[in-house]
Amino acid sequence: MAAVAAAGSGTPREEEGPGGEAAAPQPQAPTNAPGARLSRLPLARVKALVKADPDVTLAGQEAIFILARAAELFVETIAKDAYCCAQQGKRKTLQRRDLDNAIEAVDEFAFLEGTLD
């Protein structure tokens, strides 16, 4: 059967769908290898920030992880947009004005207007 990986090869094969065509490969879950981190931000710091809010009484590890991941994605997105602003100025180094320009240019960052003053 084509859906079964060869014994000992360690590489999975694509499974065949109902019509005989190959199904799309499924994304692999991250491995729990030693030293592999699922989050770039320290979860203890994120938890401390969450607990600093007086409205928060309990925060599960899953919620802390999701908040850390969301923060990473947010920082990555705004950094990429700010880098595009820097490239328009023919620079490779981000400056404060690049962040300001990214905040002004992207509607999703409108909530940040006036916060970097």
How many domains are contained in the chain? 1
- The answer to whether residue 102 sits within a structural domain is yes
Q: Which residues pair with 22 in a beta bridge?
A: 16
Res 6 pLDDT > 80: no
**pLDDT at res. 78:** 95
Average pLDDT of 78-91?
95
Q: Does the structure show a pLDDT above 50 at 7?
A: no
The pair of three-digit structure tokens given for residue 8, joined into one six-digit string: 């000992």
Residue 78 in domain: yes
Whether the CB-CB separation of 50 and 64 falls below 8 Å is answered with yes
Q: What CATH number does the domain containing 107 carry?
A: 1.10.20.10
Q: Which domain holds residue 61?
A: 43-112
**Is residue 48 a part of any domain in this protein?**
yes
| Residue 101: inside a domain | yes
Give the global pTM.
0.63
In a domain, 14, yes or no: no
The 10s digit of each residue's pLDDT in 62-77 is 999 999 999 999 999 9
Residue 97 pLDDT level (bands cut at 50, 70, 90): very high
**Chain-centre distance of CA 49, in angstroms?**
19
Nearest by Cα to 48 from 59, 39, 38, 35: 59
